[in-house]
Structure 1
Amino acid sequence: MEINGVEIEDTFAEAFGIQVSRVLVTAATKKLAKIAATEATGYGTSVIGCPAEAGIDGYVPPQDTPDGRPGYTIMICNPTQKKLDHELLERIGMGILTAPTTAVFDALDDADEKLKIGFKLKFFGDGFEKEVEVGGRMVNSIPIMSGDFLIDSEFGIKKGVAGGNFFILGDSPASALIAAETAVDAIMSVEGTITPFPGGMVASGSKVGSNKYKFLNASTNEKMCVTLKDEVEDTEIPADVNGIYEIVIDGVNEEAVKEAMKEGIKAACTVTGIKKISAGNYGGSLGAYQIKLQELF
């Protein structure tokens, strides 16, 4: 199968279940809202080493937010409910409450459960906290130096999907990078998904475990390292490929991840020099979801 002359390999991306939250951060300006959203989602690339996977879902204009101010939806994900509760409390408390003019609202419509994040954070008000109505909902109002910080009492979580992915193989490092950036831009239009790695792009790649060092949970995917293609006997890199990037996607459900993968792959295939689209899997041993690339189209 080909798209714009780019081969779509007959393989699948192996994804796994994860607990997902979706939070709306608003502020007086779009710039301030994005700063807070960025702070709250930092150090959130992969649960291989990070305490959560996190990223910005998308921009929300003032007419669509409870307080009539610009905002961004963010997603914070963790394999367990207990750890996600902890991450939400710390990331909102330290990354958003501390940021100028911000407010925080639950943005997950079909939650499986609710966590009392705002109820816990309200005690920062030291007895001066109160409830107020904003946009038809009752929220906690916490007095802080710059004014009042507003936050919903409860935030929904649900079982989502993490690790949806595809590899972009280009004839040069530049073509692969441009295609990866183009793919991430396209994925931003798919609501309920994030690309948690820096700039949405994975430079490192990895495999489960290690061939040599047994103390590692993950190590370099030597079969997909362009500088090793002449050294590794079972390399998976074609001779005309000299640049590779991976895009990893987390979503509120499998359908959202599939849509993001589809849009990202289509966008990547518009870039000159892209030779092939592949995906990462471990034969089904890592996760319960097998998203077949060719079936996306």
Structure 2
Amino acid sequence: MEINGVEIQDTFAEAFGIQVSRLLVTAATKKLAKIAATEATGYGTSVIGCPAEAGIDCYVPPQETPDGRPGYIIMICNMDKKKLDHELLERVGMCILTAATTAVFDAMKNPDEKMTTGKKLKFYGDGYEKMIEIDGRTIHSIPLMAGDFLVEEELGVRSGVAGGNLFIMADTPASGLLAAEAVVNAIESVPGTITPFPGGIVASGSKVGSNKYKFLGASTNEKMCVTLKDDVEGCQIPTNVDGVYEIVIDGVDEDAVKAAMKAGIEAAVKVPGVLKMSAGNFGGNLGAYKLNLHDLF
């Protein structure tokens, strides 16, 4: 298959089940909301080494938020519900409560269950906390030096999908990077998805385990390293490709991840120099979801 002269390889992205929480962070200004959302989603690229996968989903204008202030929806993900519960408490408590003028509301539609993050955080108020209602939501108001921090009592969690991905292959590193940025920008418009790596772009695509070091759970994907094209047997990079980037996508469900992958491909093929789009998988042996690129269209 070709789109705009770019080959779309007949392969699939192998994705995994993950537990996802989706919350809205609001503040007095869009800038302050973005600062808190960014802080709360830090150190969240991959559960290979991070305590969660996390990222900013989308901006929400004041007219669409419970408290009439600008905000950002963020997603925090972990394979384990107990670990996700811990991450919600830590990230909301240490990164959002500490940020100026913030509030936190549940933004998960159709959750499987709720985490009592706000109920736990209220104790920071040391007995001075209050319970109020905003837009039909149970909110804990915690007094701070700068005013009250508002947090919804419960935050929804549901089973989502992690590890949807795209490989961009371009004629030069510059065109590959330009395409990667275009893909991330396109995915930002797909609700219920995040690209958790720095700037949404993966420079360090990996494989399971290691060829040489037994203590490693993951190591570089040498068959996709442009500087090793002439040195590695079974190299998967075409000879005319010198720019390779990966985009990893997490979502609230399979449909959201598929929509993001489709939007990403449609954006990438418009960038001059992009020669091929592919995806990473493990032969279908590890992940429950096999997202075929051709099926997206």
TM-score (normalizing by structure 1): 0.99
Note the C-alpha offset of 1:137. 2.2
Q: Per-residue displacement from partner, 1:235-262 (whole Å, max 9, x unpaired)? A: 0000100010000000000000000000
| SS class of match (2:67) | coil
Q: Does 1:52 find its partner at 2:52?
A: yes
Q: Does 1:224 find its partner at 2:211?
A: no
Which residue does 2:13 correspond to in 1? 13
| SS class of match (1:158) | strand
Q: Does 1:255 find its partner at 2:261?
A: no
Name the CA distance, whole Å, in 1 between partners of 2:14 and 2:40: 27
Q: Does 1:200 find its partner at 2:200?
A: yes
Note the C-alpha offset of 1:135. 2.5
Name the CA distance, whole Å, in 2 between partners of 1:133 and 1:239: 62
Q: Does 1:83 find its partner at 2:79?
A: no
| SS class of match (1:223) | helix
Name the CA distance, whole Å, in 2 between partners of 1:130 and 1:278: 53
Note the C-alpha offset of 1:285. 1.7
Q: Does 1:72 find its partner at 2:72?
A: yes
Unmatched 5+ stretches in structure 1: none
AA aligned opposite 1:229: K
Note the C-alpha offset of 1:136. 3.1
Name the CA distance, whole Å, in 2 between partners of 1:229 and 1:85: 43
| Structure 1 runs, 4 residues or longer, greater than 3 Å off | none
Name the CA distance, whole Å, in 2 between partners of 1:183 and 1:277: 11
Name the CA distance, whole Å, in 2 between partners of 1:205 and 1:27: 35
Which residue does 2:25 correspond to in 1? 25
User: Identity over aligned residues, as a percent?
Assistant: 74
Name the CA distance, whole Å, in 2 between partners of 1:253 and 1:233: 37
| SS class of match (2:203) | coil
Name the CA distance, whole Å, in 2 between partners of 1:223 and 1:289: 23
Give the CA RMSD over aligned residues. 0.5
Note the C-alpha offset of 1:93. 0.3
Name the CA distance, whole Å, in 2 between partners of 1:237 and 1:245: 12
Note the C-alpha offset of 1:109. 1.3
AA aligned opposite 1:21: S
Residue-pair matches, total: 297
Query: Where does 1:267-286 land on structure 2 (aligned, <5 Å)?
Result: 267-286=267-286
Note the C-alpha offset of 1:133. 2.1
Query: Where does 1:1-297 land on structure 2 (aligned, <5 Å)?
Result: 1-297=1-297
Note the C-alpha offset of 1:284. 1.1
Name the CA distance, whole Å, in 2 between partners of 1:208 and 1:285: 12
Name the CA distance, whole Å, in 2 between partners of 1:68 and 1:22: 19
Name the CA distance, whole Å, in 1 between partners of 2:117 and 2:284: 35
Note the C-alpha offset of 1:295. 0.6
Name the CA distance, whole Å, in 1 between partners of 2:203 and 2:133: 45
Name the CA distance, whole Å, in 1 between partners of 2:286 and 2:163: 10
| SS class of match (1:190) | coil
Unmatched 5+ stretches in structure 2: none
Q: Per-residue displacement from partner, 1:212-253 (whole Å, max 9, x unpaired)? A: 111100000000000000111210000100010000000000
| SS class of match (1:175) | helix
Name the CA distance, whole Å, in 2 between partners of 1:25 and 1:199: 20
TM-score (normalizing by structure 2): 0.99
Name the CA distance, whole Å, in 1 between partners of 2:157 and 2:45: 19
Name the CA distance, whole Å, in 2 between partners of 1:289 and 1:136: 37
| SS class of match (1:257) | helix
Note the C-alpha offset of 1:134. 1.8
Q: Per-residue displacement from partner, 1:246-280 (whole Å, max 9, x unpaired)? A: 00000000000000000011101100000000100
| SS class of match (1:72) | strand
